Structure 1
Amino acid sequence: MEEISHVLWAHRTMVKSSNGDTPFSLTYVTEAVILSGESELLEERREQAAITEAKSKRQMEKYYNAKVRNTSFKPGDLVYRNNEASRAEDTGKLGPKWEGPYEVTEALGKGSYRLKDRNGKELPRTWNVSNLKKCYVHKM
Protein backbone atom coordinates (compact mmCIF):
# COMPACT_ATOMS: atom_id res chain seq x y z
CA MET A 1 0.00 0.00 0.00
CA GLU A 2 2.89 2.38 0.66
CA GLU A 3 4.04 2.03 -2.98
CA ILE A 4 0.75 3.03 -4.65
CA SER A 5 1.24 6.78 -4.24
CA HIS A 6 4.75 6.51 -5.71
CA VAL A 7 3.52 4.47 -8.67
CA LEU A 8 0.70 6.91 -9.40
CA TRP A 9 3.10 9.84 -9.16
CA ALA A 10 5.50 8.12 -11.60
CA HIS A 11 2.63 7.48 -14.05
CA ARG A 12 1.43 11.08 -13.90
CA THR A 13 4.91 12.53 -14.43
CA MET A 14 6.16 10.11 -17.15
CA VAL A 15 6.50 11.60 -20.65
CA LYS A 16 4.11 9.99 -23.16
CA SER A 17 5.40 9.30 -26.67
CA SER A 18 2.18 10.28 -28.45
CA ASN A 19 2.34 13.94 -27.47
CA GLY A 20 5.70 14.44 -25.72
CA ASP A 21 4.12 15.67 -22.48
CA THR A 22 3.17 14.22 -19.15
CA PRO A 23 -0.49 13.90 -18.14
CA PHE A 24 0.31 16.12 -15.17
CA SER A 25 1.78 18.90 -17.33
CA LEU A 26 -1.18 18.77 -19.74
CA THR A 27 -3.57 19.14 -16.87
CA TYR A 28 -1.70 21.72 -14.84
CA VAL A 29 0.53 23.42 -17.47
CA THR A 30 3.77 22.85 -15.54
CA GLU A 31 5.76 19.96 -14.24
CA ALA A 32 4.48 19.01 -10.80
CA VAL A 33 4.08 22.59 -9.47
CA ILE A 34 1.61 25.21 -10.68
CA LEU A 35 2.72 28.80 -10.57
CA SER A 36 -0.09 31.32 -10.51
CA GLY A 37 1.12 33.21 -13.60
CA GLU A 38 1.13 30.15 -15.89
CA SER A 39 -2.54 29.18 -15.65
CA GLU A 40 -3.35 31.17 -18.83
CA LEU A 41 -0.90 28.96 -20.77
CA LEU A 42 -3.01 25.91 -20.03
CA GLU A 43 -5.20 26.23 -23.14
CA GLU A 44 -2.19 26.84 -25.38
CA ARG A 45 -0.41 23.73 -24.05
CA ARG A 46 -3.55 21.62 -24.59
CA GLU A 47 -3.89 22.88 -28.18
CA GLN A 48 -0.24 22.08 -28.85
CA ALA A 49 -0.73 18.58 -27.41
CA ALA A 50 -3.82 18.06 -29.62
CA ILE A 51 -1.83 19.10 -32.71
CA THR A 52 0.99 16.71 -31.81
CA GLU A 53 -1.48 13.89 -31.18
CA ALA A 54 -3.19 14.47 -34.55
CA LYS A 55 0.20 14.41 -36.29
CA SER A 56 1.07 11.15 -34.57
CA LYS A 57 -2.27 9.61 -35.63
CA ARG A 58 -1.71 10.70 -39.24
CA GLN A 59 1.71 9.04 -39.24
CA MET A 60 0.23 5.81 -37.86
CA GLU A 61 -2.61 5.90 -40.41
CA LYS A 62 -0.12 6.45 -43.23
CA TYR A 63 1.97 3.49 -42.02
CA TYR A 64 -0.99 1.09 -41.88
CA ASN A 65 -2.60 2.32 -45.11
CA ALA A 66 0.67 1.75 -46.97
CA LYS A 67 0.08 -1.99 -46.55
CA VAL A 68 -3.45 -1.91 -48.02
CA ARG A 69 -3.76 -2.99 -51.63
CA ASN A 70 -6.63 -1.50 -53.57
CA THR A 71 -8.01 -4.28 -55.72
CA SER A 72 -10.97 -4.15 -58.03
CA PHE A 73 -12.28 -6.50 -60.68
CA LYS A 74 -14.24 -5.93 -63.88
CA PRO A 75 -16.86 -8.25 -65.36
CA GLY A 76 -15.04 -10.99 -67.24
CA ASP A 77 -12.02 -11.12 -64.90
CA LEU A 78 -11.02 -14.51 -63.55
CA VAL A 79 -10.63 -14.80 -59.77
CA TYR A 80 -10.00 -17.35 -57.07
CA ARG A 81 -12.15 -17.29 -53.96
CA ASN A 82 -11.01 -18.03 -50.43
CA ASN A 83 -11.87 -21.59 -49.46
CA GLU A 84 -12.32 -20.60 -45.83
CA ALA A 85 -14.85 -17.89 -46.75
CA SER A 86 -16.88 -20.18 -48.98
CA ARG A 87 -16.96 -22.99 -46.37
CA ALA A 88 -17.55 -25.43 -49.21
CA GLU A 89 -15.53 -28.18 -47.60
CA ASP A 90 -13.09 -28.56 -44.75
CA THR A 91 -9.87 -29.61 -46.43
CA GLY A 92 -7.75 -29.47 -43.29
CA LYS A 93 -4.64 -27.49 -42.74
CA LEU A 94 -2.80 -28.91 -45.74
CA GLY A 95 -5.67 -28.44 -48.19
CA PRO A 96 -5.91 -25.68 -50.80
CA LYS A 97 -6.61 -22.20 -49.47
CA TRP A 98 -8.16 -20.92 -52.73
CA GLU A 99 -10.68 -22.48 -55.11
CA GLY A 100 -11.66 -21.63 -58.62
CA PRO A 101 -11.23 -20.03 -61.04
CA TYR A 102 -14.50 -18.15 -61.20
CA GLU A 103 -15.55 -15.41 -63.58
CA VAL A 104 -16.76 -12.02 -62.31
CA THR A 105 -20.20 -11.39 -63.80
CA GLU A 106 -21.13 -8.16 -62.04
CA ALA A 107 -19.43 -5.54 -59.87
CA LEU A 108 -21.99 -4.33 -57.33
CA GLY A 109 -19.90 -1.60 -55.72
CA LYS A 110 -18.14 -1.25 -52.37
CA GLY A 111 -16.04 -4.33 -53.10
CA SER A 112 -18.83 -6.88 -53.68
CA TYR A 113 -19.04 -9.06 -56.78
CA ARG A 114 -21.21 -11.74 -58.33
CA LEU A 115 -19.41 -14.79 -59.69
CA LYS A 116 -20.11 -17.74 -61.97
CA ASP A 117 -18.27 -21.05 -62.16
CA ARG A 118 -16.70 -22.78 -65.17
CA ASN A 119 -20.02 -24.28 -66.21
CA GLY A 120 -21.69 -20.86 -66.35
CA LYS A 121 -23.72 -21.42 -63.16
CA GLU A 122 -24.16 -18.25 -61.12
CA LEU A 123 -23.00 -18.56 -57.49
CA PRO A 124 -25.84 -17.96 -55.03
CA ARG A 125 -24.38 -15.05 -53.05
CA THR A 126 -22.14 -12.04 -53.48
CA TRP A 127 -18.44 -12.10 -52.63
CA ASN A 128 -16.32 -9.43 -51.00
CA VAL A 129 -13.03 -8.35 -52.58
CA SER A 130 -11.15 -9.42 -49.43
CA ASN A 131 -12.11 -13.05 -50.21
CA LEU A 132 -11.06 -12.90 -53.87
CA LYS A 133 -7.74 -12.75 -55.67
CA LYS A 134 -6.87 -12.31 -59.32
CA CYS A 135 -6.34 -15.44 -61.41
CA TYR A 136 -3.73 -15.04 -64.14
CA VAL A 137 -3.22 -18.62 -65.37
CA HIS A 138 -6.52 -20.37 -66.11
CA LYS A 139 -8.83 -19.76 -69.04
CA MET A 140 -12.50 -20.64 -68.80
Structure 2
Amino acid sequence: MPNMRNGETPLSLTYGTEAMIPAEIGVPTRRTLQKEKVGGEDLRLNFNLAEERREEAARREVEYKKKIERYYNARVREVKFKTGDLVLRENEASGQEDQGKLGPKWEGPYQVLWAGDKRAYRLADLGGKEVPRTWNSMQLRKYYA
Protein backbone atom coordinates (compact mmCIF):
# COMPACT_ATOMS: atom_id res chain seq x y z
CA MET A 1 0.00 0.00 0.00
CA PRO A 2 1.29 3.47 -0.78
CA ASN A 3 2.36 5.44 2.24
CA MET A 4 0.08 8.39 2.99
CA ARG A 5 3.00 10.67 3.84
CA ASN A 6 4.97 10.25 0.62
CA GLY A 7 2.69 8.45 -1.84
CA GLU A 8 5.11 5.56 -2.43
CA THR A 9 5.27 1.98 -1.26
CA PRO A 10 8.28 0.94 0.81
CA LEU A 11 9.18 -1.72 -1.79
CA SER A 12 9.19 0.78 -4.65
CA LEU A 13 11.46 3.14 -2.70
CA THR A 14 13.86 0.28 -1.94
CA TYR A 15 13.97 -1.60 -5.24
CA GLY A 16 12.60 0.92 -7.71
CA THR A 17 9.69 -1.26 -8.83
CA GLU A 18 6.30 -2.34 -7.56
CA ALA A 19 5.70 -5.82 -6.18
CA MET A 20 3.67 -8.39 -8.08
CA ILE A 21 1.55 -10.93 -6.25
CA PRO A 22 1.91 -14.62 -7.30
CA ALA A 23 -1.59 -14.69 -8.82
CA GLU A 24 -0.66 -11.75 -11.05
CA ILE A 25 2.41 -13.53 -12.45
CA GLY A 26 0.44 -16.50 -13.81
CA VAL A 27 -2.37 -14.48 -15.41
CA PRO A 28 -1.55 -12.45 -18.52
CA THR A 29 -2.37 -8.84 -17.66
CA ARG A 30 -1.24 -5.63 -19.31
CA ARG A 31 1.35 -5.17 -16.62
CA THR A 32 2.88 -8.67 -16.89
CA LEU A 33 2.90 -8.57 -20.71
CA GLN A 34 4.71 -5.23 -20.63
CA LYS A 35 7.28 -6.61 -18.16
CA GLU A 36 7.95 -9.61 -20.43
CA LYS A 37 8.57 -7.39 -23.47
CA VAL A 38 11.01 -5.05 -21.79
CA GLY A 39 12.55 -7.53 -19.34
CA GLY A 40 15.71 -6.65 -17.44
CA GLU A 41 16.23 -3.33 -19.20
CA ASP A 42 13.11 -1.92 -17.55
CA LEU A 43 14.26 -3.12 -14.15
CA ARG A 44 17.64 -1.41 -14.55
CA LEU A 45 15.95 1.82 -15.62
CA ASN A 46 13.57 1.67 -12.63
CA PHE A 47 16.47 1.00 -10.29
CA ASN A 48 18.40 3.99 -11.69
CA LEU A 49 15.36 6.23 -11.19
CA ALA A 50 14.80 4.94 -7.65
CA GLU A 51 17.05 7.62 -6.14
CA GLU A 52 14.97 10.36 -7.76
CA ARG A 53 11.79 8.71 -6.46
CA ARG A 54 13.29 8.59 -2.95
CA GLU A 55 14.17 12.30 -3.09
CA GLU A 56 10.69 13.17 -4.33
CA ALA A 57 9.12 11.01 -1.59
CA ALA A 58 11.29 12.74 1.04
CA ARG A 59 10.15 16.15 -0.25
CA ARG A 60 6.48 15.09 -0.12
CA GLU A 61 6.97 13.73 3.40
CA VAL A 62 8.38 17.08 4.58
CA GLU A 63 5.38 18.87 3.03
CA TYR A 64 3.03 16.43 4.74
CA LYS A 65 4.67 17.02 8.13
CA LYS A 66 4.40 20.79 7.67
CA LYS A 67 0.71 20.40 6.81
CA ILE A 68 0.10 18.32 9.95
CA GLU A 69 2.02 20.90 12.03
CA ARG A 70 -0.10 23.77 10.65
CA TYR A 71 -3.27 21.79 11.39
CA TYR A 72 -2.16 21.12 14.97
CA ASN A 73 -0.93 24.66 15.63
CA ALA A 74 -4.16 26.19 14.30
CA ARG A 75 -6.07 24.49 17.11
CA VAL A 76 -3.59 24.91 19.95
CA ARG A 77 -4.13 27.94 22.11
CA GLU A 78 -0.92 29.21 23.67
CA VAL A 79 -1.30 30.19 27.31
CA LYS A 80 0.89 32.95 28.73
CA PHE A 81 0.86 34.32 32.24
CA LYS A 82 2.26 37.63 33.48
CA THR A 83 4.01 38.35 36.74
CA GLY A 84 1.37 38.77 39.42
CA ASP A 85 -1.27 36.56 37.76
CA LEU A 86 -3.06 34.03 39.93
CA VAL A 87 -2.84 30.43 38.71
CA LEU A 88 -3.82 26.92 39.78
CA ARG A 89 -1.23 24.13 39.71
CA GLU A 90 -1.98 20.60 38.48
CA ASN A 91 -1.95 18.06 41.32
CA GLU A 92 -0.43 15.30 39.20
CA ALA A 93 2.52 17.52 38.20
CA SER A 94 3.25 18.53 41.79
CA GLY A 95 3.54 14.91 42.96
CA GLN A 96 0.55 15.03 45.29
CA GLU A 97 -1.00 11.72 46.29
CA ASP A 98 -3.90 10.80 44.03
CA GLN A 99 -7.18 11.22 45.90
CA GLY A 100 -9.26 9.24 43.43
CA LYS A 101 -11.53 10.37 40.67
CA LEU A 102 -13.55 12.65 42.96
CA GLY A 103 -10.49 14.38 44.41
CA PRO A 104 -9.31 17.82 43.28
CA LYS A 105 -7.24 17.96 40.08
CA TRP A 106 -5.87 21.46 40.70
CA GLU A 107 -4.41 23.14 43.78
CA GLY A 108 -3.78 26.73 44.58
CA PRO A 109 -4.13 29.61 43.96
CA TYR A 110 -0.52 30.61 43.44
CA GLN A 111 0.95 33.89 42.26
CA VAL A 112 3.36 34.05 39.30
CA LEU A 113 6.68 35.53 40.53
CA TRP A 114 8.68 35.20 37.33
CA ALA A 115 7.70 34.41 33.73
CA GLY A 116 10.43 32.88 31.53
CA ASP A 117 10.54 32.92 27.77
CA LYS A 118 9.89 29.20 27.14
CA ARG A 119 6.60 28.96 29.10
CA ALA A 120 8.46 28.42 32.38
CA TYR A 121 7.16 30.09 35.54
CA ARG A 122 8.21 30.49 39.18
CA LEU A 123 5.35 30.47 41.66
CA ALA A 124 4.70 31.58 45.21
CA ASP A 125 1.73 30.85 47.46
CA LEU A 126 -0.48 33.73 48.56
CA GLY A 127 1.59 34.07 51.75
CA GLY A 128 4.67 34.92 49.67
CA LYS A 129 6.54 31.62 50.19
CA GLU A 130 8.19 30.55 46.93
CA VAL A 131 7.25 27.13 45.53
CA PRO A 132 10.30 25.02 44.59
CA ARG A 133 11.26 24.45 40.92
CA THR A 134 9.89 26.05 37.77
CA TRP A 135 6.53 25.10 36.28
CA ASN A 136 5.48 24.77 32.66
CA SER A 137 2.34 26.51 31.40
CA MET A 138 0.89 23.07 30.54
CA GLN A 139 0.78 22.38 34.31
CA LEU A 140 -0.89 25.69 35.17
CA ARG A 141 -4.34 27.15 34.70
CA LYS A 142 -5.54 30.72 35.12
CA TYR A 143 -7.34 31.33 38.42
CA TYR A 144 -10.35 33.65 38.28
CA ALA A 145 -11.09 35.18 41.68
- TM-score (normalised: structure 1): 0.73
SS in 2 for 1:66: helix
Q: Which runs of 5+ in 1 are unaligned?
A: 1-13
Q: Which runs of 5+ in 2 are unaligned?
A: 20-34
Residue matched to 2:116: 108
1:44 aligns with 2:45: no
User: 1:89 Cα deviation (Å)?
Assistant: 4.7
SS in 2 for 1:109: coil
SS in 1 for 2:116: strand
Query: For residues 123 and 59 of structure 1, what CA distance do their matches in structure 2 show?
Result: 40
Q: Which has the higher helix share?
A: 2
Matched residues, number: 124
Structure label with greater radius of gyration: 2
Shift in CA distance, 42/104, structure 1 to aligned 2, threshold 3 Å = same
Residue matched to 1:62: 70
72-81 or 52-61, larger mean C-alpha shift: 52-61
Larger RCO (alpha carbons 8 Å, 6+ apart): 2
- TM-score (normalised: structure 2): 0.71
Query: For residues 105 and 46 of structure 2, what CA distance do their matches in structure 1 show?
Result: 63
Shift in CA distance, 100/42, structure 1 to aligned 2, threshold 3 Å = same
* RMSD, aligned CA: 2.2
Over the matched positions of the two proteins, sequence identity in percent amounts to 57
User: 1:41 Cα deviation (Å)?
Assistant: 2.3
1:94 aligns with 2:94: no
User: 1:40 Cα deviation (Å)?
Assistant: 3.6
State which of 1, 6, 12 in structure 2 corresponds to 1:25.
12
